[in-house]
Amino acid sequence: MISLTKIMFSRRFFLINLVLVGVILGFVMSSILFACSTGVQPRDSARAEEPATAPLQEVDPREGSFRGIAETVLPSVVQLTVQEVRSVTGPQGDRPWFDFFFRSPDNGEREFRTQGLGSGVIVRRDGSTYYVLTNDHVVSDGDQITVLLYDSREFEGAVVGTDSRKDLAMVAFEADDEIPIAALGDSDSLYVGDWVLAVGSPFGFQSTVTAGIVSALGRRGGPAGNISDFIQTDAAINQGNSGGALVNLRGEVVGINTWITSQTGGSVGLGFSIPINNARRAIDDFIETGAVRYGWLGVSIRSVAPEIADDLGLEHRSGAIVHHVFRGSPAEEGGVLPGDFITEINGRAVNSSDELIALVADLEIDEEAEFRLVRQGEARDVTVVIAARSDEREIADQNRNLWPGLSVFPVDAEMRDEMGTEGVDRGVVISNVEARTPAAQAGFRVGDIVTEINNRTIDSVRDFYRELNELQHEVLSMQVVRGENELEIDLHR
C-alpha cells in the first residue's frame, strides 16, 4: 500500500490541486464581475431602436435647423396617387374558355388601370380650394388623382392645368380645414454649396426628408423639350420625389424636384429641380387661365459653332445665331434677320440658344423687349413687341413661313475633298433644310454648295447672309454645286 505522504507529494496530486484552485478562482472572479455589472431582469426586453442610456454628444446646430425645417415644410408637401384608365381591344388570349364567359360584350375591349406616384407642394389657397404645384409627367395622363396629406387625410384632386415645356402642372382639391401653405423662396439667391432638403414620397414612403447641398446651378438638359434650367443637388431624390419640394435652411421652397440621372434608376447623388423662380409665373397662369402663356419671338436659333463664329467675325461665342425668321412674326416686324447673332435681352447676357429660348419664354406678352445683336460684325439694338406663343403643332404648321428654310456652314479643303468638289474654291455648304419651307420647296438639299446669289460671289457665311438680307428681290437666284453638277435654283420669298 502506498503511503499517504507519498500520495500528497506526488506530481499527479499537485496537478489536480492546481486545476481545482483555478476553477475556484474563476468562479469567485466571475461572481464579483457579474455583481458589479448592470442587471437585466428576466422579464425586461432590450430593443435596438431604443435610445442609449449613455448621454449623447451635443447636437450639431445644423441638425437642429433641419428638424425645424422638416416640421415647417412637411405639412405643405403632399403625396399624389395617380390612376390612369386604359381600354385595350384585341384578339382572344390563350384562355378562350375564359374569354367566352367573362370578356366584355364590346368585342373583347378590356379596361386596365395603371397607378403612378408622385409628390406636390401646396402653394395657394382660394377659399376652400387648395392648389398643389407638381410635375406635368406626374399627373398629365391621370384619370383619378388622390391627394394624401402629411396627417394622412385624403382628398380627391383635379388637374387645373399642365405644361410640358417646363414639366409643371397644377392640381386642386377642396378642404374646409386650415392646411399649411408652403413659403416660396428666391432660387436666384442660391449658391453652390448651400444646404438644401428634398421633401417628397420616394417609392411611396410618404413625407421623406433628405439633405444635401446645391451641387450646381443653371444645368441644362434633362427631359426632351424642357426649356428650364435646373438646380443640381446631391440630396437623395428617387422615383416618387417628382413634384416635391427642394427647400433652403429657412424652410422656403426654392425648387420643384423633377428628375434624376442614374444607370440603376436609384439615387446616385445627381438630382435636378426646377428653380421656383421659373415656376412663379406658371402658378399664376394655371390658376387664372389653366395654361401657361409663353412669349414668342418667331425665330429658329442655335448656339454658334466655332467655324461659323470665325466666319462671321464674332469675338466670342456667348449668344445664339438666328438661322430662320418666321414671316409676319415679332422678330421680322422688329427687324431681326437671318444670320443675326443675339447676345443680350433687356440687358441680360445670353450665353446659349437654350438660355435665349428660356429668356424669351418669360418675357411679358404684348410688351417691348430690347435685343442686342451682332450683324455683319457690328453691334446694334432692335426693339421687338413679344407675342404669345402658340402650341407646338400650330408652330410646326407655320414652317411654310420660315425664311429662308436652309442653314449654311463654311467649306474647307477637307470638306471639298470628301464631297468630291475639289475644284470649287468658294461658297458655303447647306447643312440643313427645314421641311415645307421655301428652301425645301425650291429643291435645295443638304450638301449643296452655294457659290453665288444673283451673280454675287459667296466666299463665306458672312457673305451669304449679307446678300440674303440686302437683296430685296422677290426671287433670289442661287448658283449651286451638287456633286459634279452645277445648278441654278430660285428661292422665292
Catalytic residues: 137, 167, 242
User: 445 near 433, Cβ under 8 Å?
Assistant: yes
Cell of 233: 443637388
- Distance, CA of 242 to CA of 199 (rounded, Å): 10
Q: How far apart are CA 304 and CA 169, in angstroms?
A: 33
Alpha-carbon gap, residue 276 to 282, rounded angstroms: 10
> CB count, 10 Å around CB of 307?
13
Beta-bridged to residue 275, according to DSSP, are: 255
Quick check: bond before 338 cis, omega within 30? Answer: no
* Cα separation values, 402 from 64, 371, 386, 492, Å: 58, 20, 18, 12
Residue 463 neighbours by CB under 8 Å, 6+ apart: 428, 456, 457
Pairwise CA distance, residues 149 & 410, whole Å: 59
What's the half-sphere exposure (Cβ side, CA atoms, 13 Å) at 50?
A: 5
Residues shown for the chain: 493
200: how many CB neighbours lie within 10 A of its CB? 31
